[in-house]
């Protein structure tokens, strides 16, 4: 019985080492992404990228204030703001990132 446990432990160790040493699948294999075969679609996307260069800025926007357990808490949400070369805002996308400022009442 002791030989059986030793054999299973040794087999488990070899399996673990084999798994750790095996080559990993590359995370960015092209077969996982949808492929478009229409030339007009790819040309339109390429043309659009060159026509409207956008700058990405992250902006914190005040969301509100609450009192939690006698402490004043201000919430700020992060937004992705896309602007063109002239500074005109093209798109604002809210993210899931929040910042909180806590003030104790005295």
The residue among 73 and 25 whose pLDDT is bigger is 73
Q: Is residue 85 part of a domain?
A: yes
Tell me the pLDDT band of 4, cut-offs 50, 70 and 90: confident
Q: Is residue 12 part of a domain?
A: no
What integer pLDDT is reported at residue 5 of this predicted model? 84
Tell me which residue range forms the domain holding 82. 54-105
Per the structure, how many domains does the chain have?
A: 1
**79 contacts 94 by C-beta, under 8 angstroms:** yes
Per-residue DSSP letter, 70: T
- Whole-model pTM? 0.46
Please classify residue 73 by burial: count the beta carbons closer than 10 Å to its beta carbon, then call 0-12 exposed, 13-18 middle and 19+ buried: middle
**100 contacts 76 by C-beta, under 8 angstroms:** yes
Query: What pLDDT, in 10s, does the model give residues 56-93?
Result: 889 999 999 988 888 889 999 999 999 888 888 888 99
In the beta sheet, which residues pair with residue 77? 61, 98
pLDDT at 44 over 60: no
């Amino acid at each position: 019985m002791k030989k059986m446990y030793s054999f299973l432990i040794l087999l488990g160790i070899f399996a673990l080492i084999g798994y750790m040493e095996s080559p990993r699948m590359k995370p960015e294999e092209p077969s996982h992404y949808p492929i478009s075969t229409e030339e007009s679609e790819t040309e339109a996307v390429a043309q659009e990228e060159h026509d409207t260069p956008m700058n990405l800025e992250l902006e914190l926007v005040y969301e509100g204030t609450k009192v939690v357990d006698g402490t004043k808490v201000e919430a700020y949400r992060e937004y992705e703001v896309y602007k063109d070369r002239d500074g005109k805002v093209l798109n604002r996308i809210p993210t899931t990132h929040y910042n909180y400022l806590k003030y104790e009442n005295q």
